[in-house]
Structures are given as C-alpha cells and as structure tokens.
Amino acid sequence: MTTTKHNTSLFSQIYMMAFGLVMVAFISIFNHDPAKADHFDDIITNAKGQTVYFNAWGGSPAINSYIDWVATRVADEYDITLVHVKLSATSDSVSRILAEKTAGKSVGGSVDLIWINGENFAAMKHNDLLRSDSWAYDLPSFGYTDPVALPGILNDFGVPTDGQEAPWGRAQFIFGYDTAYVDTPPRSAAELAAWITSHPGRFSYPKPSDFIGMSFLKQILLETSPDISLFAKPVDQSSADQALTPLWQWLDAAHPHLRQGGKHFPANYTAMIQMLGDGELSIAFAFNPAEFSNGIAQGILPDTVRSYVHDSGTLANVHFVAIPFNANAPEAAQVVANFLLSPEAQSHKAHSDIWGDPTVLAMDKLPPDMQTVFAKLPLGIATLDESSLGKTLPEFHPSWVPYIEKQWADRYTGQ
Amino acid sequence: MISRFVIILICLLPIMAGLAGAILPASGWFAPLGRYHFSLEPVFLFLDQPAIWTSIWLSGFTALVATFISYVLAMALLARLYHNGRAGIIFRLIAPLLAVPHITVAVGFLFLLQPSGWLIRLLSPWLTGWERPPDLYLIPDAYGVGLILALIAKELPFLLLMGVSALSQIKVNDHLDHAASLGYRPYSAWLYIITPQLAKRMRLPVMIVLMFSVSVVDMALILAPSLPPPLAPRILDWFYDADLNNQFIAAVGAVVQLGLALICCVIWISSAYATGQFIRHLTYHGKRGYMPSVLVKGCRKTLFIIAILPCLISVMGLISVIIWGFANIWRFPAVLPDQWGVRAWINTADMMFVAGFNSVMIAGISALASVIIAIIWFEQSATRYHSHMEKWLYLPLLLPQASFLFGLQIFLIWLRLDGLYITLIWVHMLFVFPYVMLTLGPTWRRFDRHYTDIAATLGASKIRQLFRIKLPILLTPIMTAFAIGFSVSCALYLPTIFASNGRMITLTTEAVTLASGASRQALGVASIMQMILPLVVFLLCDAVIRWRFGRFRHFRA
C-alpha cells in the first residue's frame, strides 16, 4: 500500500516537472506573439469604467498607501476604479468566496482580485474558486519574468500555479542583528545554535502559529535535513516524523538558552522586531529584505541594526494576485494585475521609502532604461543588495505547516 | 407581566441556544459539518491536547485567588470606609479604574512590567546598571500572578461599588450601637453582625466576579502564561483554527469551562459556608475578640499595601500607556520618549475612527436600550419587591462567557444573523442589561412612593407620574446606570468577536489585536481612546445632572 502511494507521488512529481517545463516552453513561445497583444488591447477596452474590488491584507500603512498609488495610476491610465478592501486575514475572503459558490453565485461576486499565496491559494485552487483559463500567462507584463531563474513564479509552495495567479512580489527570509552587541553574525543554523548557547537570553522566535515563526522552523529544517526534497511533497505520515528529527534536536539544544528559557515566545514577528529594538534580543528575522531598514526609518530599531543571510541560502517565496471564478469585473482585474506586474509599478514597490518589496521581474528581460531605474533604486541603510541576498531555498508543501505546528505544540507546551 | 416574559425570553433564548450549540458539538453532533451521530470522540480529542490539565488548573486557580483577594479586600475596605467616612487615597485611586476597560488595565500592566517596561526604565541604569532589558519577566509568570493582580485592580472597584450600595440597605449604626452596649469592640461587632448581612447581599456580585475571572480572555492573552494558556484563550484558539475539526475541541472546551465554573462555585460557596459557621461559633461563645492596638495597626497597614499594589500598578501602567501614545521614538532605557509626537495618531486615524465609531454606537445604543427596558421592568414589578423572574436576568453574568457564546455564534451563522449591527447590540445587551439592573435596582426600589401617591391624588396618570415625578427625581441613578452600561459594553471582547463573527472592529478588539505585538504607539492610541470614551460619557452624564439640578442649588444646606 505504502509503496503504491509512494509511486503515485513520485509519478505526480515527474508529471509536475514535465508540465512545468512544457509551460515554460509554451510561455516563451507565446511571449512574443503579436496576437496576444491585440487580445489584451480588447481587454483594456472592455475594462474601461469597471470597478475592481481588490481584497488585500490591510495591516501595513506602507502597503496600503502603495495600493492607493496603484488606484490613482489605473484610474488615470485605464479609467478603472480600484477599491482596496482591507482584510485582517486573507482566509476571510476565501471563506466568503466559498460561501458564494455554495450559494450558487457564479457571476457578480464580491471579490475581483485577491492577494494570495501558499495555503490560501492551494485551498482556492482545490475548491475551484479561481478563474482557471491561465490568464496570468497572457498578461503582457508576464513577459518580463523569468520562470527558470525564479521557479516560484510557477510553483506556489509546491502547488503549480497553472496561470491562475499572477506574480506580484517576492519575499525572502532575512536575519537582522544589532552591531552594538554582535560583531560577526552566525551564518548557518549550526553557528546560530552555538551563538545562542554562548549568549543566553538574547534570541527567541515567534510561536509557530505565526507565519514568520513557522518560516524560521522551516529555515532550520532546510539547513539541518539531509534530504530536503521531502518537504516539497505533501506530508507522508510514514517518513514525516523522521524528517523532523533534526529540527527537534536543534530546538531541544537551543530552548534552554532562549529568552525566558524557552518557556514563553513572542506572539508574532512584530513583537520580536520590537524586542530587537529594545535591545532585549541581539538577533531577529523577517520575511521582507527591507524590514530592518523600515524599522530604523520608523524609529522602532536603532540605526546600528544590519541585515544578513545564511551562507547556504534562505527560504524564499512569491506572492500573487488571483481572480475569483465569479469576479464581477474580470477584465479590469486582469488590467490591474498586469499593471501591478509592470516595470513601473514593480520599481515603485521596490523603493525602500514606499514598501521595499523585491521585484519578481528578471532584469535581463527588461528594456535598458528600466534596468537603470531598478539599478538606481536606493537601498535602505540595513538592506542587502540583490547579490548579497544569496541563494534562495524552496518553500514547503502547505500540508507541512499544520503538521509541524501540532508536533511543536505537543513537544513544547507545558514543559 | 407579558412584557416581562418577553424581556426574559429575549435574554434567555440566546443563552439556551448557546449552551445547546456547545453541548451538541461536544458530543459529536454537528449538522454544519455533516456529523449526525453522537460520539465521545471530541472528548478524547480534547483530553489529548497537550498540557490541557495545566490550562484548566490555571483558569480555576487564578479565578478563585483573584476573587478571594478582591472580596476580602472589599469587605475590609468597606469596614474602614464606614468608620472613617473615607478611605483616602485608595478610593481616589480605585474610582477611576471602574470605568477603564479590562484590556486597557492589562495593557498598562504590560507597558509597566515587561523587561523593557517603564518600571525598569525608571530604575535603569542608575540603580540596576542595566543598559539592556534584563531577561527578567515579571509578567507573564508561570502562576498567573500578573493576571490575578490585574483582575483585582478591576474587580475590587466593582465589589466596593456594590458593597456601598448594599451597606445602604443595612441599619449599620443601630447594630453597632447595640453591639457596643454589649461590650463588643467596633471591629468584632462589624465582623459578627454586619459582615454576615453584607455577605448575603454581596453573593450575586461575587459570583459575577468569579465567573468573569474563570472565563476572562482579553486580560489572559496579555498577562497569563502562553504555553499553555488558561482554558478560555485556548477555546478561542481552537475556534479560530483553520482545521474545522478543532470546532469540536472548542465545543468540549466550552462545556468543560461550564463544569470548571460549577466546581469553582462549589468551592466558593462551601468555604463561605464554613467561614460563616466559624463566625457564628465565635458569636455564640461571646468572644469579644480583643486585639492589641499594635496588631490592629499592623493589619491595617498590610491591608493598605495589598489593596494599593494592584491599583498603583494600574495607575502607573495607564500613565505609561498615555506616554506611549505620544512617543514617536522611545528607546530603552530612556525614562521619557526621545522624540514626542502624534505620528501614531495620524497613522491609525482611519482605523481608530471606525473602531471608535462602532464602540460608541454599540455601547450608546445598548446602554440606552438597557436603561429603558430596566425602567419598564421596575415599573412592572413595583408591586412585588423581590421577583423570582429577575434572577434569570443575571444568568449571562453567571455563566462563563465562552461556554454559551461559542454555541450562540453557530446559531447566529445558521440564522444568517452574524455580523449585523443589531445582533451585536443584542448580544452586548445580554451583559449590559444586568449591570444596569444591578446599578439602578436598589435606588429605584427605595424611591419614596409618597411623591407619586400625591401626584396620583392630583389625578396624574401612571405615565405622567413616571415622566413628571420619578424620572426627574431619579435622574442621577439613571445617568449613572447609563454610564456604567456604556463602559461595560465598551469593554466587552469575547461577545463582540463571537457575535460579529470577528468581522466588526471595536476599540477593544483592536486593542487585543495590537497587544499581540504590533506597534506600542498604536496600542497606546487605542488604549487612550478606550480610557477617554467612558470618561467622556461619565462627564457628560455628570454635566446633565448638574444642569438639571442647577436650579435647586439654593436648597442645599
């Protein structure tokens, strides 16, 4: 039984890879198809005067004002009204769209465009809640991306995007340290463990129920596991326990030397960043390369904080926008998605004073004048440039998140 | 009579539905998830949760200890208050705390006591030598002491308020004079004669405090340990979990919370009975209870310190909250911000406006409606002094919140009523109305009926008597009841998120969200708003009373 299951997943892996390669070939052929441009001109014409309800997390003032800027631009350029529906959690919208589908509402839905990735994308795709005609590949701006250099564009946490979502931005796991207290930061999981032991009480991580806390556990796993290919596939009960052993060994050794003796953890990463700012911690981490520069600009962090990454690379993923199956203004939603992916919007977004979210575009696919714009972007005082960000490590299949979270709770609750 | 039945029905239906909505899924039956058979599986899943007994123990322990200390302090302070006519600084510290929401007090504790908090800033580095925050966590502590202190800071004022009202119904001076003539010292006379009468009248408020403490979520999220947290926040975690199977565990948690509340009640009532028997034993033996004056003074000092500690922490905490609201940059170990400013107010203006508007609307409407319904209730029941039916109105305060709110939400979603303004006001009224009744009841019932009788002989109708005589004379207690109802509604956390399905934000829900770690400045702003709102309402009520009675000021002695 187990063997069959294993074989199936192996075949589906091969199938997925083959499919991805075909897709890449397909895209590079059609990128230069003049018919596509005409087709998109029709979409732009149809989109005039439509209103797009963009459901996106609204917890960051910087991101909100960036979306405001996008709204002004698409209003000027395409006569589209963009309304930012500020969410506290993306899953709220996912369940609303699911409720609409259950109620039989197949047109005129309340969501036109949704900011999404990972677990929520997997759930929406699985429940057929997304527009599925691979519209994302047809966006003219998609031609500026390079799925070979950045495979995350086609593969969202191990789930093929199939053109059901358009890439918007990129996140990479990044560490920050306060130079007032640390001379040379540890550049691997093993070095970090040694540093923690010799500097008790100056490191902690958010609970795994927090996204960044979970990402930290993934980062440690990727650095300590002999075989990381396992994590790209759905959790296999028979091998999962063994796969997590290196993580528990690392944590068991580190916990007694964490802040509060590993008995209490920050509720989320913003709390951890605040603790770095207070000097409680010497090292912290985030999922946005501009995080530490932003923190300095806002006065949360002292200007002695700098960023660094681990030598073997750090966890990275891509975030997307998707169009629900019952969107009320699908044409305008595509035009907005295309604008979000345009070099203009991408370079504005990457500016450290605006948002500081790295671009998903490939520099060598851009016209020379846009390359210059990107090259001239100011980097924050604590932000690493593209080359210093180093290698990226792949995301886990979404099924690992609840699994690791439960195992962690079972091990470390009530100790 | 009929209107009273309707009122009872409106109050009790959601509770019955809520309890059913917890008990059914707890036993495996849950139609929305397609489970139509009963099983013990949810119970086993619940028991399988890591360190579940620690959570249950933590909830029961903190609730009983906090209630016990608050109660003893309140009883002792009431005795002091009566003898001195005032208890000085303690009362001045305590009174404002009544109007401050629980979550705001908890945030104050956090801002004062955390390693980078104001307390350590005040002492560093000149005294402690600390240039960085030490790995010294006063909160959260393993035994929930921080939570207990914060609960005392909030419950002591409430019990004192209820105690003052109860004392006014007892002929204290007569009793004390009799006792003194029999050779009892004031303190023993108080203990033997007044305390039993007072205790009887304090039963309801104390049970309310105990139930609130068992089920407190917002304060526990900030001040209690998190690995594992007490039971109430864990129920919320399961409820919010993406895995729908955890709904069953949440349901079992809600039922277990009900059982825990029952056990706490039994412990409380049996210890109260034993204490009562002991006092009676002393009384029968005519013990005059001589205490050397040194000991009396010592007791008084100890009492003062225990009473003042939670209040002092709260007040200092609230001051640090206000400072954070106006700090652009405030590094450790600076005692005051490096850079003052209103950046947080500008950044959060949108959100604070929406949250503040919701808070004011919900609290204003539910307090107003509660006062009107309470007046209708009193007018209907004026003929019978103690109505049996009235006890049922306090049921929402006598059950742990999560035990029925969890199930209630399932029904609200099923009826598609979740997230509506009217639903939220209704659920808030379940909690606001009993507090309004508690505040307004005693004064309303002491109303001197001669006034209305005279009006009646002059031919005034019942309605005319009410509007022309009763309401104007009772304006002060009515305004007080409204203000208290308003602040109760402002402070509600769990009822708000369950009734709105987490979709409606108020200042309290925002404060809880921000307290998990986002910017301290934003949390400071939310907390300041939470302090100001009830305060403004209290001041407005006071202004109305002054304006209304201004023309009688010459009648004062």
Kindly provide the ipTM of the predicted complex, given to two decimals.
Answer: 0.86
Is residue A276 scored above 90 in pLDDT? Answer: yes
Domain boundaries, chain A: 2-170+317-382, 174-315+395-412
Q: Whole-model pTM?
A: 0.85
Average pLDDT over residues A48-52: 94
**Pairs of residues, one from chain A and one from chain B, whose beta carbons lie less than 8 Å apart:** 81
Is residue A18 scored above 60 in pLDDT? Answer: no
CB contact under 8 A, A264 and B518: no
CB A155 within 8 A of CB A148: no
pLDDT at A71: 95
Average pLDDT over residues A176-194: 96
Over the stretch B369-426, which tens digit does the pLDDT of each residue have? 999 999 988 887 755 555 677 888 899 999 998 888 888 887 887 787 877 889 999 9
Nearest to A275 by CA among A290, A265, A263: A265
A3 touches chain B (CB under 8 A): no
Residues of chain B positioned with their CB less than 8 A from the CB of A59: 518
pLDDT at A386: 76
Nearest to B366 by CA among B423, B285, B416: B423
B416 touches chain A (CB under 8 A): no
B501 touches chain A (CB under 8 A): no
Contacts of B79 (CB under 8 A, 6+ apart): B187, B190, B194
Question: C-alpha distances in angstroms, B431 versus A89, A130, B417, B426?
Answer: 29, 43, 19, 9
Is residue A215 scored above 70 in pLDDT? Answer: yes
Q: Other CB atoms closer than 10 Å to residue B143's CB: what's the count?
A: 14
Over the stretch B511-529, which tens digit does the pLDDT of each residue have? 988 887 668 999 999 999 9
Average pLDDT over residues A158-182: 94
Is residue A21 scored above 60 in pLDDT? Answer: no
CB contact under 8 A, B516 and A271: yes
Question: Across chain A, what does the average pLDDT equal?
Answer: 87
Which tops the pLDDT comparison, A288 or B84?
A288
Residue A243 and residue B75: Cα distance in Å, rounded? 60
Peptide bond into A330 cis (omega under 30): no
Give chain B's domains with CATH numbers: 1-26+342-550 (1.10.3720.10), 40-341 (1.10.3720.10)
Split at pLDDT 50, 70, 90, the class of A29 is very low
CA distance between the termini of chain A: 38
Q: How many CA atoms lie within 13 A of B227 on its CB side?
A: 20
Question: C-alpha distances in angstroms, A363 versus A23, A116, A368, A371?
Answer: 21, 24, 9, 6
CB contact under 8 A, A414 and B50: yes
Question: Across chain B, what does the average pLDDT equal?
Answer: 87
CB A47 within 8 A of CB A331: yes
CB contact under 8 A, A302 and B331: yes
pLDDT at A10: 46
Q: How far is A379 from chain B (nearest CA, A)?
A: 23
For A2-170+317-382, the fitting CATH number among 3.40.190.10, 2.30.40.10, 2.60.40.420, 3.80.10.10 is: 3.40.190.10
* Below-50 pLDDT ranges, chain B: 557
- Ranked by mean pLDDT, the top range of A160-164, A237-241, B398-402, B537-541 is A160-164
Backbone torsion region of residue A61, taken as left when φ is above 0, otherwise alpha when ψ lies between -120 and 50, otherwise beta: alpha
**Which uninterrupted H or E stretch holds B113?**
helix B102-113
Same fold, A2-170+317-382 and A174-315+395-412: yes
Three-class SS state of A319: strand
% of chain B with per-residue pLDDT over 90: 44
Residue B196 and residue B89: Cα distance in Å, rounded? 27
CA distance between the termini of chain B: 43
**Which uninterrupted H or E stretch holds B397?**
helix B395-398
The CATH topology of domain A174-315+395-412 is D-Maltodextrin-Binding Protein; domain 2 (3.40.190)
Nearest to A221 by CA among A201, A251, A200, A199: A251
CB B26 within 8 A of CB B420: no
A406 touches chain B (CB under 8 A): no
* Structure tokens belonging to residue A154: 């086609």
